[in-house]
Each structure stands twice: as C-alpha cells, then as structure tokens.
Structure 1
C-alpha cells in the first residue's frame, strides 16, 4: 500500500454520539449542527493508510483459527465488553502490575477481536510513552511527527490541526508512538491527554488504551481518570499475587473490570503430564 502524507489525506469530521434507535447501547454519529449534536469538536480526525500491511505474526494469525482457545476466550471477553458498552462504557485501559507481562500484545489482540468482521469501530491508542511497542508489534510505520505524544504537544501549543490516526483495517485504527522518535511522556500528565481520549472516543465504538504498568509510577492513575474501565493483564508463571494486590490497591477497584491471565498453561494438559 502506498504511503500518503497526512497533509494530503481526507479529513473526516466527526460529530457527537447519541444512542441509536436500534437499542443495545449502539452509538451513531450526529452531523455537526444537527439537533442534539451539541457543540462541534475542536478538531476533526484524519485517517491515513498504514505504511505497510501488518506482518503475518502470531498477533494476527490467531484470529484465523476460530477454534483457538485464546481466540475463543477473547471473544467471550468481547461479549462482556459489549455488555459494558450498553451500560455506557467503551474506553478501556489495558495494563499490568509490572513490565513484561504481555499487556501490549493483549491490547492489540483485544482491539483486533473487537473490530473482527467490522462489528465495531475500534481505536487502539498507545499511552506507554516511555516504551512504545505497538508499531513494532503490528508492523507499520507511524507518519513522522505524528506519534500520539507529539500531537498532544502541538495541541498544548494551540494547534487546531486534526488528530492523525493510522488505518490497519476498515474497522481498526491505531494512534501509536513512532519508534526511534522523541516522545513526550510529560504530556500524559496534562489535561490535554484526558481531553484527547474523550474527544477521540466520540468517533468509535471502542477505544483501547495500551497503558504503562501500574507499580513504580503514577502514570496509570492519570490514565484511570481518562477511561471508563481498566483490564489488568497477568502473565502465567511470571506475575506475583503480591504485585496484583499492590497494583489494585494503587488504582482502586472502582474502574477495574477484571484481570486476565496471559500465556496460561493448564497444569492438567497432556503437555504438562509428559515426563
């Protein structure tokens, strides 16, 4: 797919979101100026194609195996999140007590499953500004100067240019950091970060935030204020019960949707019984 400069792409103006007449909590965009639309957003969203198609990695291949236990579990979680959406929750942060517990890979797979068969419009956002990985996991290039934190910096300086997101499919967009480029972690603690999440969420059915780990900093507490719910990822044979307890104590239980055990291996499986 040929790369297009953000300055040469179509600008999509999104209006406010209101419940659809079909029920089930679905939301539909309202044209700016239409009754009930409310004030127009401060800037539209610009969608650009990915520099390269996502690679054939385990992250994507798993969706091709409908019988996969992991895929089945993710679809069950999707159903639960769809129920949460009917209750008015559609922005979710994915985090873990500590680093190297697979949260970024899980966040990616969750976004893919939520957007499967175009059943929902999904935006996957990277908020782990210190150690960004989404572009590497998904195998695409973030347009130069259009990492999430760099765009927040421009908003802080008064820019009215559109938010720029990358399309990885008809129903999945990504707003990531550019590996190798300077990031601006301090933007996470500005009101502009929370404003960005709130504005961007208006154009999607689900917004998934790949977040930093909880323990060791207050970054996740800031993200907690910007989302509707939090999913805590635990890695089998890696995460410690004490870490989970400390993590939940730090962020509280008010927005914690639940915990997910990642890389889980059944101790009673044939593989485990082999000597």
Structure 2
C-alpha cells in the first residue's frame, strides 16, 4: 500500500467548531464471540459508570453538530470505509502518528464520536498512551480513582475477577482512559494481559478504537499492532515530515495499515484568503 494514493489518504479540512448509561450498568459479553484474542481473555463482565462531568470545551463535540462541515463529512466518509472493514471482520483499530503532537488523540476522539453517531454502532474508545494520557482532559470527565486502564490491567495480572470499568459518554460511546495525575503502569502494555484485554473488550462493541502512542522512539506501537485488526496513521498538515512517515511505516510494516489521515488540512484557497486578510 502506498500512502500517496488518494484512495488511501483521508484529507480532513480545517473548519471552525463552535443520556449516558446508568451507573453500574453491565455490558453483557458473550464468551463465544469472536474477535482478536477472544479465546484467551478471562470472562468477566464490563461495568459502565456515567461520566462525572460534561466536556468544559465543546470544541470536540460541537464539531459534529455542523453536518455540512468538510471535517464532519470527511469523518463520515472514513466511517463508511471502516463499516466496510467491519463487514470483513475488522473492528479494532489503533490510531497513531509518527511522532507526538500530530493530533492523534483529538482525531481518535472525533472518530469514536462519528462512529457512535445516532447510535449506529456501539463504540469503545481506549487509551493506550500510558505515559501521556489526554482523553479524559479532551472529553472533560474524571476517570474513577484507581480505574485507569493500566491500573485495571495490573489487577487482572494479579488474578482479580472484578469487572472492567468503562465510562459512558453517551448511549453508544464508552471510554476506557487513564487518569491524569494518577500513577500509571506503562509496563502493562508489553504484557500478554494487554492483548487479552483488548480481545475481551472488543467482544461487546461494534468498534474498538485505541488512542495509541506515537510510533517512532519506542516499540509500544509494535505491541499494539499485535492486538488490533488495523492501524490508522495521523499526520498533521504543515507539521509532519515525509521522512517520519516513511520511517514509521518501515517500523510497523504495511500489513495492518488501513491508511493515512492528513489532519488539520487547510485548502490553498482558504490559506490565500487568510493571507489577504492579514
């Protein structure tokens, strides 16, 4: 696959962006369901708790309210492509980028929102950036104390049979995030329990999206690659370097690469208008 192919690259235009599940609700998970790692994950239910706060910054959420925006349209095009992948048996996707600061966490969030739009699919957004967690901040909710993703994996490693705890941000969108400021356990990413957790959790959802660490500089993304069906690489317009993309693809390979997303793109016409105003 070549990333230069327009059919493999989604361009997201820059645009201005101007009932959750009840506490303790249990998500049934079929022990016989398929999915990555389905045979090896422990059988425990998933406990859903409501978000403790509404997003303080509506930038992420309101963007979907403008159904005519180019960004929303582009995300819905990607949703259609992922729905086609779902029909082929692919429903766990990692969102990553060559380096930090390219917008992958914001994109992961908006992709999860679009996939769950109008309850057309049940979506779980998972945070695997244990060193630099941002999802709770972006979405404006508090992770219940002691229930960050890595902390829950540690308890599973010690034999705990308690349910996985996820946060409901809507009737069709759940989030399993790290708690900013709390101790995280990044070493759990390299344990078999991480892959088992993804395989088990994926059984209860139509899509599982992983906000992943960047590729270059560590082997974390190579571990996550083994736990997912596909990988989406996010690039920021006028920020990402071609050499970084080439090195990133070389590191993770093209076997599971779904394509690249050019994020925060500004069309030449829009750039010219902005220059004239100055």
Aligned mates of 1:65, 1:213 — CA distance in 2: 30
- Structure 1's 2 and 42: CA in aligned 2 closer, same or farther, altered over 3 A? farther
Whether the 8 Å CA contact 2:23–2:50 is kept in 1: the answer is no
Aligned mates of 2:9, 2:240 — CA distance in 1: 44
Match of 2:16 in 1: 16
CA deviation profile, 1:173-195 (whole Å, cap 9, x unmatched): 00000010000000000000000
- The Cα shift of 1:57 comes to 1.9
Deviates more, 1:46-55 or 1:33-42: 33-42
- Structure 1's 5 and 233: CA in aligned 2 closer, same or farther, altered over 3 A? closer
Deviates more, 1:262-271 or 1:43-52: 262-271
TM-score computed with the length of structure 2 as normaliser: 0.84
Unmatched 5+ stretches in structure 1: none
SS at match of 1:144: coil
Aligned mates of 1:270, 1:7 — CA distance in 2: 24
TM-score computed with the length of structure 1 as normaliser: 0.85
- Structure 1's 163 and 9: CA in aligned 2 closer, same or farther, altered over 3 A? farther
Deviates more, 1:49-58 or 1:142-151: 49-58
- The Cα shift of 1:55 comes to 3.0
- Structure 1's 157 and 72: CA in aligned 2 closer, same or farther, altered over 3 A? same
CA deviation profile, 1:207-245 (whole Å, cap 9, x unmatched): 000000000000000000000000000000000000000
- Structure 1's 264 and 33: CA in aligned 2 closer, same or farther, altered over 3 A? closer
Query: How many pairs align?
Result: 273
Whether the 8 Å CA contact 1:33–1:40 is kept in 2: the answer is no
SS at match of 1:248: helix
- The Cα shift of 1:41 comes to 5.2
- Structure 1's 26 and 248: CA in aligned 2 closer, same or farther, altered over 3 A? farther
- Structure 1's 121 and 13: CA in aligned 2 closer, same or farther, altered over 3 A? farther
SS at match of 1:4: coil
Deviates more, 1:216-225 or 1:55-64: 55-64
Aligned mates of 2:273, 2:129 — CA distance in 1: 35
SS at match of 1:6: coil
- The Cα shift of 1:6 comes to 46
- Structure 1's 168 and 11: CA in aligned 2 closer, same or farther, altered over 3 A? farther
RMSD (Å), alpha carbons: 11.8
- The Cα shift of 1:53 comes to 1.9
Deviates more, 1:87-96 or 1:55-64: 55-64
Whether the 8 Å CA contact 1:30–1:37 is kept in 2: the answer is no
Structure with the larger RCO, 1 or 2 (CA within 8 Å, 6+ apart): 2
- The Cα shift of 1:270 comes to 6.2
- The Cα shift of 1:58 comes to 1.1
Match of 2:236 in 1: 235
- The Cα shift of 1:9 comes to 42
Aligned mates of 1:141, 1:49 — CA distance in 2: 10
Match of 2:119 in 1: 118
